[in-house]
């Protein structure tokens, strides 16, 4: 390494996962061309990396907040481009954080054009603020993880419904002052692949409401894709859902029939494999392969959200290659309006893809889809997708703060 070249991560080398940092380099030669790199390993051992070419200014400095990348994983001015443009070294892998206690360590480095290392620095990206607790839950039918913020409360409560186990979203929301229980739709046992039981998620709701620091009169739900199926059904059939975030949801129940109180309440629509479109990468496009939810034979799969008393936040994207989430949202909005409902908000992100996550994780353009058992393309133009995640993450927090009521008397009664 060169003793003259200095790599700076501002305001600190340690930050929260969903907070931006400023990457700067000093001590280069005037107008020197360098290669900036970032690299991390996720909790499943998958390595992600990115690189971009920059030219120093007349003072020998590079500032990613000011200077454009000339080529590499991205081009143009992208202050967090090195993080968000990372790609897995193994194709079709999604970034996973399965234990939020451990920070995500990212190595930033500066290299000469020929590759010689000039400077490097580690960035610790924390998922849990000081005082936030993480408790695995294995009780009854509940398999999940509970995150609780520090302090006496009372705190509003959110049930997070990821498709598969992932702790980034719930831990980061707990940092904002919510008690969050994360319960994956597809758990490790695999006992909910052929059919789904709403009772298990109602059990999770009841467990949440009994936590000592909780003051919510009802529960918020955070969900995407198949998780949004469960969330919408909870809002329609189970009392107590006050607010629900639905990211790229289908208006009908998909893949597995839904049961509640030992009877089937919703049939499911399926993917027609003859309509799968193969790609050179080995992943497939399934967007136009899902059965029509509005076809007469599929009416029993439509989720009756018009019955819900919840507030809805529908977030959809314009480049969803999983299914036509925009059309499904439009149908749900029409249906709610037809029933005189105004309990919803919508937000649309034109160039973003299906896999919306909290900001500054590596964007996932393709990975394994448990619903179809194959690797699929999710869509999303990187720059538009990153912008969507930044905007939506703040929108979700504001939505829950507005619509989840808290009652200190309820907390005192539990204590």
Token code pair at residue 361: 């994780």
> What are the distances in angstroms from CA 27 to CA 6, 10, 107, 366, 405?
6, 17, 19, 39, 53
Q: Active-site residue 89, yes or no?
A: no
Taking the C-alpha atoms of residue 211 and residue 147, their distance in angstroms, rounded to an integer, is: 11
- Least Cα distance to 341 among 307, 375, 385, 298 occurs for 307
Beta strands in 198-289 (DSSP E): 219-224, 241-247, 258-260, 263-266, 277-278, 284-285
Cβ contact 85:64 at 8 Å? no
* Domains identified in the chain and CATH numbers: 6-126 (2.60.40.2240), 133-404 (3.40.50.1820)
> CA angle 127-243-393, nearest 5°?
35
Token code pair at residue 45: 């051992």
| DSSP per residue, 5-50 | -EEEEES-SEEETTS--EEEEESPPTT-EEEEEEEEE-TTS-EEEE
Judging by DSSP bridges, how do beta strands 344-349 and 311-317 pair with one another?
A: parallel
- Least Cα distance to 182 among 129, 127, 237, 126 occurs for 127
User: Given this model, what pLDDT does residue 188 score?
Assistant: 58
Residue written as token pair 């392969």: 289
Q: Which of 354, 363, 385, 403 is catalytic?
A: 354
Taking the C-alpha atoms of residue 144 and residue 127, their distance in angstroms, rounded to an integer, is: 17
Token code pair at residue 377: 């393309």
What is the number of other CB atoms lying within 10 angstroms of the CB of residue 41?
15
Q: Which of 42, 67, 319, 320 is catalytic?
A: 320
User: Given this model, what pLDDT does residue 412 score?
Assistant: 44
Q: Which of 67, 84, 160, 225 is catalytic?
A: 225
Q: Active-site residue 15, yes or no?
A: no
Token code pair at residue 350: 């034109």
What does the chain come to in residues?
A: 415
Taking the C-alpha atoms of residue 209 and residue 153, their distance in angstroms, rounded to an integer, is: 13
Token code pair at residue 225: 């894709």
- Split the chain (415 residues) into runs of 10 and give each run's mean pLDDT: 87 96 97 98 97 98 98 96 96 96 97 94 98 97 96 95 94 98 79 81 96 89 96 97 97 96 96 97 97 96 97 98 97 97 97 97 94 95 95 98 76 45
Query: For the chain, how long is the longest CA-to-CA vector?
Result: 72
Taking the C-alpha atoms of residue 204 and residue 258, their distance in angstroms, rounded to an integer, is: 16
Name the pTM for this structure.
0.94
Q: Active-site residue 354, yes or no?
A: yes
Cβ contact 38:49 at 8 Å? yes
Token code pair at residue 308: 């819900």
User: Given this model, what pLDDT does residue 415 score?
Assistant: 41
């Amino acid at each position: 390494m060169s003793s003259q070249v200095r790599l700076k991560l501002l305001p600190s080398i340690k930050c929260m996962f969903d907070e931006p940092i400023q990457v700067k380099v000093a001590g280069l030669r005037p107008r020197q061309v360098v290669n900036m790199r970032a690299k991390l390993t996720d909790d499943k051992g998958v390595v992600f990396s990115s690189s971009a070419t920059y030219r120093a200014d007349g003072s020998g400095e590079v500032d990613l907040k000011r200077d454009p990348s000339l080529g590499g994983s991205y081009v143009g001015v992208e202050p967090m481009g090195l993080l968000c443009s990372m790609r897995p070294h193994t194709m079709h892998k999604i970034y996973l954080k399965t234990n939020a206690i451990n920070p995500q360590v990212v190595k930033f480095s500066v290299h000469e054009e020929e590759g010689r290392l000039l400077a490097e620095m580690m960035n610790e990206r924390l998922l849990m603020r000081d005082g936030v607790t993480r408790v695995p839950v294995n009780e009854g039918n509940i398999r999940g993880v509970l995150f609780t913020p520090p302090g006496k409360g009372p705190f509003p409560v959110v049930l997070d419904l990821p498709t598969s186990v992932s702790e980034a979203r719930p831990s980061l929301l707990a940092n904002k002052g919510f008690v969050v229980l994360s319960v994956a739709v597809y758990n490790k046992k695999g006992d909910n692949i052929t059919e789904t039981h709403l009772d298990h998620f109602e059990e999770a709701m009841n467990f949440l409401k009994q936590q000592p620091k909780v003051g919510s009169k009802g529960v918020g739900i955070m969900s995407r894709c198949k998780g949004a199926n469960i969330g919408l059904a909870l809002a329609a059939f189970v009392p107590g859902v006050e607010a629900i975030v639905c990211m790229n949801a289908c208006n009908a129940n998909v893949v597995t029939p839904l049961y509640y109180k030992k009877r089937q309440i919703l049939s499911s629509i399926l993917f027609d494999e003859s309509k799968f479109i193969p790609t050179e990468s080995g992943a497939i496009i399934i967007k136009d392969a899902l059965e029509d939810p509005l076809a007469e034979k599929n009416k029993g799969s439509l989720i009756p959200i018009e019955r819900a008393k919840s507030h809805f936040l529908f977030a959809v994207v314009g480049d969803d290659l999983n299914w036509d989430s925009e059309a499904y949202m439009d149908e749900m909005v029409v249906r709610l309006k037809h029933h005189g409902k105004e309990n919803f908000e919508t937000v649309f992100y034109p160039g973003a893809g299906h896999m919306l996550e909290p900001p500054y994780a590596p964007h996932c353009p393709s990975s394994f889809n448990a619903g179809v058992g194959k690797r699929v393309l999710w869509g999303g133009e990187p720059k538009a997708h990153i912008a969507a995640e930044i905007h939506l993450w703040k929108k979700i927090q504001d939505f829950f703060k507005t619509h989840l009521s808290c009652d200190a008397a309820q907390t005192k009664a539990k204590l």
